[in-house]
Amino acid sequence: MNYGKSGKIDYNLKTGTFNVSEGAAQLLLNGFSQAEYQKKLFSSKDYKQITYSKTAVHDAFGNGFKHIFLLKQAGLPVMQQVFYTYSDKDYFMIGITLQGANLSINHIVPIKGNLIDQQPSATPTSLFVPFDNDTFISYNTVPLKANVSNPSAEVGALYHDQSRKGFVMGSIEHSNWKTGVITAMDNDKKINLQVICGYTEESITRDKIPHGYLSGNSVSSAKVFFGAFNDWRVGMETYAKLNRISEPPIVFKWDKATLVGWNSWGAMQEKITLEKANQVSDFFADNLKSFRSGGVAYIDLDSYWDNLLKGGLTGDYSKLKAFADHAKLKGLKPGIYWAPFVDWGFAGGGNRKAEGTNYTFGEMWTKVGAGYHDIDGARALDPTHPGTQQRIATVINKFKECGFEMIKIDFLGHAAIESDHFFDPKITTGMQAYKTGMEFLLKQLDGKMLVYAAISPNLASGRYVHVRRIACDAFKSIKDTEYTLNSVSNGWWQTYLYDYIDADHVVFSDQSDGENTARFLSAIVTGTCITGDDFSRQGKWTGTAQRLLNNTGILKILENGKAFVPVEGDRGKSASQLFVKQVGNVKYLAVFNYSDTEQHYNLDFARLGLEKDKKYGCENLIDQTKTMLKDNQILKLSAKDAQIFKLTSEQK
């Protein structure tokens, strides 16, 4: 079976195994598929009767072929291995379907086999991608050595940083399964790959119980992507784009400008009052007139907006409406925050009546083993329960009546947790529950607000929101900047899965000018900018905001809304120090120094994607100074600082 320019899958009909190659290079050896049924593991290697057929496909991915292997063996479910190949795509996809009477399956492995490293003399890097962005989790790059195993959520990569060559493999469907991608090196230096549908691990997916079962006469895995790339970064971007095709957005199409604005959790937090919120709107209107995108900025009230309520969630919202009206009067768009799938008051017992319903919270809690799912101080609510849904409908309706034009939704991972049984018996896995809850939420929002996800599943949220925060909370220090950019360095590709990814509220406070510049630029390289200081009062931050946030040369970079690309990988839990972005004939270069000492950077044009024999006009967008840049020029950068350059005017 051929794919792409020189890709080939050789399937052995006698053994149920396959090898993958590209030209003369072997990529995967002894590949097979595996599943578990009635607590017994079996694989494609256990079947004696295997037949092959193929049909042409014309789908959203392109024109190609669907190769179907039908495997039959007495005592085992019928297995279908389906490979999807496209003549102009240097990757393939595979899906597994099991057929039989009343199957109940929670473990399918579409691909298991040995990856063949093209540079065996060097240590490859295995990428860990988190399932979500909760608990200040970091992406990580792990040197894959003998007896090291690295699990990753939904997608994995194995690459060499210097050559950038590598593999990318992962699920491109997230409506039924959580998928784990495990790369491991054994004692003999063999690299083992497993892509597992039905993967749970408390430190990654947050689940304390095994993955839910899918039942019926036919059970299918997620479709899995596999490709080898000359640049692993292209592979990750390709993977993200395929997810967007495979599970197209349900949220309404965003055709307006990139998100910029303010969020109260950065500094104001629990001190929200109507007066303070209005003063922030006034500050934006009077002092940050250039901090707009498409003429628009959002003023978003985060947690503790209920300080403005009388009588709880079903009570008097008149102060919130007054805030929204004032923001609009000032030419701004009002936003609000909510966590629709959690109960913060669970310590008060389960007999409390849920707002807008006739149900108690205890009836709505997601059942997990002998207890419930508690994380971040909140208890998960069953997204399929009518009480959870009625409560969502009640509150969202209030928000719409107030005239809010943006909503930040949080703690969405609670909706994706595995349960012994959901209220809706047709829902049997955490991802099915997540889909149910998010679809219901979007129906209530009815296209009235920009939808922003804070803590949420990395990949499964692509269908439901316009903007997703790339990491957990970040505030003002250089460590916050480094933490955020760890997620951009390894997760920037999500810029092709969402309309926008975001670096969280940018807080300046009274930090040094260098740290403030770095924090601001961490947002710019992510692709949006939400600021977070308490602008209801004066301080160093107000002057910093006026200097940085009114810089139209930098704000212009946000117009296309896409993230910068990391220049270097393999930084462990740290971050790339260099990021680049191409816009037409202009290349932008952002440089960060996370350390306490001055650093010198060798600007290697080959690594930056510039032509080695050219000089480039180089404008520093922070201080507007101009110079020429040549290959291997040394850039000095102060401790805890960052700079951004616009590179143009190419000359021989």
Mapping DSSP to helix (H, G, I), strand (E, B) and coil, where does residue 69 land?
strand
Cβ–Cβ < 8 Å for 539, 506: no
Sign of CA dihedral 199, 202, 206, 211: positive
Choose which CATH entry (2.60.40.1180, 3.30.70.141, 2.60.40.10, 3.40.190.10) describes domain 566-651.
Answer: 2.60.40.1180
Q: What is the average per-residue pLDDT within 251-264? A: 98
Mean pLDDT to the nearest integer, 309-316: 96
Region 63-87: mean pLDDT is: 97
Q: Fill in the amino acid letter for 343.
A: D
Query: Is residue 203's pLDDT more than 50?
Result: yes
If you count them, how many residues does the chain have? 652
Query: 114-118, 184-188, 398-402: which has the highest mean pLDDT?
Result: 398-402
Is the entire prediction scored with pTM above 0.85?
A: yes
What is the tens place of the pLDDT at every residue in 517-547?
999 999 999 999 999 999 999 999 999 999 9
Residue type, 17: T
Stretch(es) of the chain classified as CATH 3.20.20.70: 260-345+387-563
Phi, psi of 5 (to 5 degrees): -70, -45
- pLDDT tens string 456-471: 999 999 999 999 999 9
CB count within 10 Å of CB 440 equals 18
The predicted structure's pLDDT at residue 650:
62
Q: State how far the Cα of 366 lies from the Cα of 374, in Å rounded to an integer.
A: 10
CATH 2.60.40.1180 in the chain: give the residue spans. Answer: 566-651
Phi/psi at 522 (5° precision): -65, -30
Let me know: does 283 contact 268? Beta carbons within 8 Å.
Answer: no
| pLDDT of amino acid 572 | 96
Average pLDDT, the chain: 97
Q: What is the pLDDT of residues 83-99, one digit of tens each?
A: 999 999 999 999 999 99
Per-residue pLDDT tens over the stretch 220-242: 999 999 999 999 999 999 999 99
- DSSP sequence for 398-462: HHHHHT--EEEE--GGGGG---S--SSTT--SHHHHHHHHHHHHHHHHTT-SEEEESS-BTTGGG
Q: Is the pLDDT of residue 63 over 80?
A: yes
pLDDT higher than threshold 70 for residue 442: yes
pLDDT at 652: 45
Question: Of all residues in the chain, what percent carry a pLDDT higher than 90?
Answer: 98
Residue with tokens 């019928």: 78
Phi, psi for 195 (deg, rounded to 5): -115, 110
Q: Please state which CATH class domain 260-345+387-563 belongs to.
A: alpha beta
In order, the DSSP letters of 572-594 are TTS--SEEEEEETTEEEEEEEE-
pLDDT at 112 over 90: yes
Parallel, antiparallel, or unpaired for β 7-12 and 78-86? unpaired
Residues 6+ positions from 576 with CB-CB distance below 8 Å: 485, 489, 566, 567, 568, 569
77: its two tokens: 């479910």
At residue 118, the pLDDT reads 86
- Could you tell me the two tokens for 448? 């009235």
The pLDDT-based confidence of 402 (bands split at 50, 70, 90) is very high
Indicate whether 651 pLDDT > 60: no
Provide the 10 A C-beta neighbour count for residue 612.
10
Per-residue pLDDT band at 377 (split at 50, 70, 90): very high
Helices 540-548 + 274-287 axis angle, to 10 = 40
Task: Please say whether the beta carbons of 266 and 533 come within 8 A.
Answer: yes
* Strand pairing class (260-263; 298-300): parallel
Task: Dump pLDDT digits (tens) for 505-519.
Answer: 999 999 999 999 999
How many CA within 13 A on the CB side of residue 112?
A: 15
Instruction: Kindly report, as residue ranges, where domains of CATH 2.70.98.60 are found in the chain.
Output: 2-246
- The pLDDT tens digits for 122-162 are 999 999 999 999 999 999 999 999 999 999 999 999 999 99
Domain over 2-246 is classified CATH 2.70.98.60: yes
